[in-house]
Amino acid sequence: MAEPAFPTVDTAGPRMTLVLGSGSPRRLELLAQLGVVPGDIRPPDIDEDPMPGELPRPYCVRLAREKAQAIPSADTEIVLSADTTVALGRRILGKPRDAGEAAEFLTKLSGRRHRVITAVAVRRGDRIWERDVVTQVQMKNLSNEELNAYLASGDWQGKAGGYGIQGFAGAFIPWINGSFTSVVGLPLAETANLLLAAGYPLYKPAD
């Protein structure tokens, strides 16, 4: 099936710069794989609590959009925001508050398949281009030794579901079906299409 076509904007005029609406170093590293260096980094300050009864995918999409909308920008700036959510059935596993909650999340994920959802929102002025990617992930059965070693590493901090596939926990993930970069925090193929649609000069040499 062909990828959906995004309506693009006229790229004539001043060169657009990118504002990364995220404090995630992983997203900054992923953008670097596209050759993109943001002109500025402006993490948004929004309420990330789920609404009552909100399901993981709509929750993730809403947060990415609200983050993009919350960041002030100039006419020559394109804002990119994203949100990554781990879903176990209908349950949202966000960033654990402490090691105890990280242990709870990892124990629930141990030996089970779950979904990792990353939603991306790109805003230029009042227009927003959006995409979300769902990847199926299998976690191995974790031994107490593996769990305790991971908790002691501190790598769970600031990561949805209490783990990061690109680090220590990569050894716990024998199988995924979908986008690896989405599980890390930013689906590169989809993000590139969104940036192009918004008029960002992704594949053009700098002036």
Q: Residue 15: what pLDDT?
A: 80
With cut-offs at 50, 70 and 90, classify the pLDDT of residue 1: very low
Q: Can you tell me the distance from the alpha carbon of 132 to that of 55, in angstroms, rounded to the nearest whole number?
A: 14
* Catalytic residue annotation: 83
Give strand ranges (E) for 1-141.
17-20, 40-41, 77-88, 91-93, 113-124, 127-138
129-170 pLDDT, tens per residue?
999 999 999 999 999 999 999 999 999 999 999 999 999 999
Q: Residue 39: what pLDDT?
A: 95
Q: Can you tell me the distance from the alpha carbon of 44 to that of 70, in angstroms, rounded to the nearest whole number?
A: 6
Residue positions counted in the chain: 207
Q: Residue 203: what pLDDT?
A: 85
41-79 pLDDT, tens per residue?
999 989 999 999 999 999 999 999 999 999 999 999 999
Tell me if 117 sits within 8 A of 57, measured CB to CB. yes
CATH class of 17-198: alpha beta
Strand partners, 136: 115, 177
**Whole-model pTM?**
0.90
3-40 pLDDT, tens per residue?
455 555 555 556 889 999 999 999 999 999 999 999 99
Name the nearest CA neighbour of 93 among 149, 159, 24: 159
Judged against a pLDDT cut of 80, whether residue 86 lies above it is answered with yes
